[in-house]
C-alpha cells in the first residue's frame, strides 16, 4: 500500500471547489431515466450520454472525480479515446463502482446486504489497468418501525470495511458509502439516531480492517426527514443535525466527506451542502458525490438528440458550478435561476 499516493488521489478528487460526478448508474437504473425522456436504453445511447457529460467544456473546474459503471469504464469517445484516459487527461480522476447491488439479507426481513466481495481483488487488478484510481461501494440501510437491526448494520459495515481494505491493498482510494435511505415516514431525529449508529459501526469495522483513514473518502447520507414524514425539517435543521452527527462519529483524519444526494432535488442537495459549509470549524473537506442532482436537468435538456449536446452540457456545467459554490457556502436559493 502506497499511503502517499492514496492521500494524493483523495486530495485531488476533492480539491478546492471540486466534487464527484456519480455516473455509475446500473443498466437498470439508467433505463428508468431514459424511459423518462422516451429514449431506448441501448449501449450506444448510454455511451453517448456519458460522453456528453464527460466532455463538457470547463467542467473540470468543479468536478474532481467521476464514478463509472463497469460498462462505462470500457467505453470510448467518438474519437476512440477511452473514457478513463479522457477524464485523466482533463484533470479528472477516474473511478469505478465495484459493488454488485443490495440483495435481501437472509433471515432479516426488509433488510439488505451489498454483494460483490467474491473476486474483488482480481477485478481491482483489471480496473486499475483500465485507469481507475478510486472505487465506490454502497451499503444500504432502510428505516422502518423495526429496522434497521444491529445485525444488518454490522453486516453492511463489515462488507464496507473488507471492500476498503481490498482497495487500499492495490493503491485504489475507497469511497465508503453507508446510505441511510430517506424513504419512509421517519423524523429528522430518527434519521440522526440511525445515522449515528451506522457511522459508529462503520468506523469500528474500518479500524479493525486496518484502513488508513487519510487515504479514503466517506460518502454518507445527510440527516434528513423521511419523504413521507408529515413534518419536514428546514434546510438549516438538516445542516445542523448532519454536522452534529458527523462531528460525533467521523474522525478528523478522514480528509473528505462527499455527500450523496439520496433522492433530494438538485436545489435541495446544493443548498444543504452550502449551509453545512458555513458551519465552522470543520475538520474535513465537505464535498458532493451526486448523481441525479447533477444530471437531472442535463438529461432532460439532452433528450437523446445529438443536436442538444450543447444544451445538456450547459445544464451539467451549471449544476457542477453551483455545487462548486456550495463547497465554500456560496450557494444561495435562487441562484439556479440566474446561473448560466
Write b or e for each residue in 207-243: b if 16 or more Cβ atoms lie within 10 A of its Cβ, otherwise e: eebebbbebbbbbbbbbbbbeebeeebebeebbbbbb
- From the CB of residue 178, how many other CB atoms can be counted at a distance below 10 Å? 25
Known catalytic residue: 219? yes
* CB-facing half-sphere around the CA of 45: CA atoms within 13 A: 17
* CB-facing half-sphere around the CA of 2: CA atoms within 13 A: 10
Strand partners, 179: 140
Which residue of the set 111, 177, 179, 315 is catalytic?
Answer: 177
- Rounded distance between C-alpha atoms, residue 127 and residue 263, angstroms: 29
- Rounded distance between C-alpha atoms, residue 257 and residue 260, angstroms: 10
Residue with cell 477485478: 123
Which residue of the set 18, 97, 219, 318 is catalytic?
Answer: 219
What positions carry a catalytic annotation? 177, 219
Amino acid at each position: 500500500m502506497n499511503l502517499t499516493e492514496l492521500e494524493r488521489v483523495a486530495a485531488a478528487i476533492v480539491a478546492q471547489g471540486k466534487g464527484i460526478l456519480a455516473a455509475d448508474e446500473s443498466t437498470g437504473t439508467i433505463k428508468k431515466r431514459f424511459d423518462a425522456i422516451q429514449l431506448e436504453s441501448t449501449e450506444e445511447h448510454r455511451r453517448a450520454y456519458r460522453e456528453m457529460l464527460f466532455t463538457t467544456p470547463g467542467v473540470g473546474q468543479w468536478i474532481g472525480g467521476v464514478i463509472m459503471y463497469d460498462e462505462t469504464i470500457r467505453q470510448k469517445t467518438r474519437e476512440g479515446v477511452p473514457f478513463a484516459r479522457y477524464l485523466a487527461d482533463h484533470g479528472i480522476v477516474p473511478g469505478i463502482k465495484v459493488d454488485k447491488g443490495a440483495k435481501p439479507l437472509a433471515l432479516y426481513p426488509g433488510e439488505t446486504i451489498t454483494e460483490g466481495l467474491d473476486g474483488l481483488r482480481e477485478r481491482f487488478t483489471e480496473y486499475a489497468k483500465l485507469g481507475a484510481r478510486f472505487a465506490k461501494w454502497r451499503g444500504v440501510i432502510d428505516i422502518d418501525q423495526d429496522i434497521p437491526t444491529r445485525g444488518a448494520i454490522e453486516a453492511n459495515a463489515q462488507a464496507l470495511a473488507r471492500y476498503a481494505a481490498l482497495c487500499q491493498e492495490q493503491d485504489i482510494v475507497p469511497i465508503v458509502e453507508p446510505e441511510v435511505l430517506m424513504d419512509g415516514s421517519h423524523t429528522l431525529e430518527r434519521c440522526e439516531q440511525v445515522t449515528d449508529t451506522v457511522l459508529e459501526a462503520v468506523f469500528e469495522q474500518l479500524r479493525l480492517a486496518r484502513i488508513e483513514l487519510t487515504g479514503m473518502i466517506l460518502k454518507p447520507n445527510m440527516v434528513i426527514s423521511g419523504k413521507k414524514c408529515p413534518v419536514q425539517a428546514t434546510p438549516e435543521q438538516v445542516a445542523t443535525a448532519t454536522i452534529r452527527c458527523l462531528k460525533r462519529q467521523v474522525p478528523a483524519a478522514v480528509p473528505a466527506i462527499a455527500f450523496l444526494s439520496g433522492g433530494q432535488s438538485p436545489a435541495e442537495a446544493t443548498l444543504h451542502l452550502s449551509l453545512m459549509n458555513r458551519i465552522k470549524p470543520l475538520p474535513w473537506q465537505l464535498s458532493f458525490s451526486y448523481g441525479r442532482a447533477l444530471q437531472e436537468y442535463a438529461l432532460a435538456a439532452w433528450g437523446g438528440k445529438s443536436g442538444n449536446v450543447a444544451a445538456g452540457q450547459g445544464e451539467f456545467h451549471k449544476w457542477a458550478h453551483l455545487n462548486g459554490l456550495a463547497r465554500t457556502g456560496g450557494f444561495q436559493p435562487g441562484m439556479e435561476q440566474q446561473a448560466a
